[in-house]
Structures are given as structure tokens and as C-alpha cells.
Amino acid sequence: MEFTTHSLWTLIHGMGFGALYLLAGSGALIELRHRFYPSGANQDRTQGRFLGWYLAAMAALAWLTVLTGTYLIYPWYRTPPPAGTANLAAYPRAFLLAHPSTSAWHSIGMEWKEHVAWLVPIAITVAAVVAIRHRNQLVCSLSLRVTLQSFVVLSLVAAGIAGFFGAMLDKTAPVGGGASIQIVKGDGK
């Protein structure tokens, strides 16, 4: 049982940072709902710091996801094959574009994913800063709460699009290469 360093980084990027962001996002929506629309009349005004730092952690995850995706994995994905290469399996972008049945995964999937993913850290960083710096105003300003929640939801939509296409691209044309890492040695049966 082994994998390569490139596939390990893809795993960290997608299933580590990216998936954790999506999971944290659903938690953030519940926390926002619980904090600002409590069932009782007594709103918890003094413990708003938790929400701010929770969103800041999400922002850190979003930045880690886009930075590893753009500057580490994307260059491996788009590496052009040497002239005359018949087996394109090690060159995901070239592999996808070589077949009419898979080319849209690049021309629509990757082209959308690589840009839409960058909207996520912008939205969630602003949401985190608003929740930390303006937490008192959040309690009494409905407009600010609606905007904050909208940015969290929109960041999840953008992250969901990027995550979906990331998973499908990795299924169709996985990023491989790099040094091999052996986890468990098989018994050779």
C-alpha cells in the first residue's frame, strides 16, 4: 500500500483543508443561527468572540486550500507532456484535453474551479473580520447579520463548486508523480 508525494498533497489539499472547510461551514451556519436567532428572548451578547475566531479558523483553512491548490498542485496538473508522449496518464490536463469525452472536465470543471475557489477566502476573511471587529453591532444590526450569513453561505457555495470539480477531476485524471511513500508492505499473494 503506497502513494506518491503529489497524491499525498492532493489529499491534504482536498480532503484535509477543503473538506474540513465545508464541514466547518455547516457548523458556522448553525452557530450563526443559534447565536443571533435564539429560541428564547435572552440573546448571548458577551460570548460573540467564539464565532469570530471560528470564522477566522475557517478563513485560515480557505487560504491554505487555495494556496496549496494554486501553487503546489495546479502546476503538477498543468505540466505539459514532452513531445511524442503516448501515455498521458501522468499529465492530467493533457490527458483530459486529449479525449472529447473528458475535455469538458478541464475546459469547464478546472477553469471554473481554479477561479471560483479564490472567492472563498475573500468572503470568509471579511466575514471573520466583521464577526471579530464588529461583534457588538452584529447583535443589533439585522442588515449586518444577514450580510454576514450570506457571505458564509456564498463562500460555501463557491467551496462546494470547487470541491465537487476537484473530486471529479481527481477521479478522472488524478495528479500523481513524486516520490513513493509506502505505508504497508503487501505479502505478495
Partner 1 sequence: MSATRNTNVDSPELVPNGPAAAAILSAGIGSFALAFITVLADRSAALKLLLTFSKPVGPLSGVTTIAVVFWIAAWIVLDLLWKRRELPLSRIGWGAIALFVLSLLLTFPPLADLL
- Kindly tell me which of 59 and 184 has the beta carbon lying closer to partner 1: 59
134 in helix, strand or coil? coil
DSSP state of 3: E
**How far is it, in rounded angstroms, from Cα 68 to Cα 65?**
6
**At closest approach, how far in Å is the CB of 186 from partner 1?**
35
**At closest approach, how far in Å is the CB of 147 from partner 1?**
3
Return the range that interacts with partner 1 (CB under 8 A); candidates 18-26, 113-121, 167-175, 181-189: 113-121
**How far is it, in rounded angstroms, from Cα 32 to Cα 9?**
32
Query: Which amino acid makes up residue 181?
Result: I
Cell digits for 50? Answer: 467564539
Q: Is 184 in the site for partner 1 (CB under 8 A)?
A: no
Return the range that interacts with partner 1 (CB under 8 A); candidates 8-16, 83-91, 103-111, 181-189: 103-111
Instruction: Give 33: exposed, middle or buried? Use CB within 10 Å, 0-12, 13-18, 19+.
Output: exposed
Helices (DSSP H) in 69-141: which residue ranges? 74-78, 92-97, 103-104, 111-116, 119-133, 135-140
**At closest approach, how far in Å is the CB of 187 from partner 1?**
40
Q: Is 144 in the site for partner 1 (CB under 8 A)?
A: yes
Number of residues that bind partner 1 (CB under 8 A): 41
Query: Which amino acid makes up residue 67?
Result: L
**At closest approach, how far in Å is the CB of 3 from partner 1?**
22
**How far is it, in rounded angstroms, from Cα 127 to Cα 150?**
9
Cell digits for 102? Answer: 473528458
Q: Which of 55, 58, 152, 158 binds partner 1 (CB under 8 A)?
A: 158
Applying CB under 8 A, the residues found at the interface with partner 1 are: 45-46, 66, 70-71, 74-75, 78-79, 107-108, 111-112, 114-116, 118-119, 122-123, 125-126, 129-130, 133-134, 136-137, 139-141, 143-144, 146-147, 150-151, 154, 157-158, 161
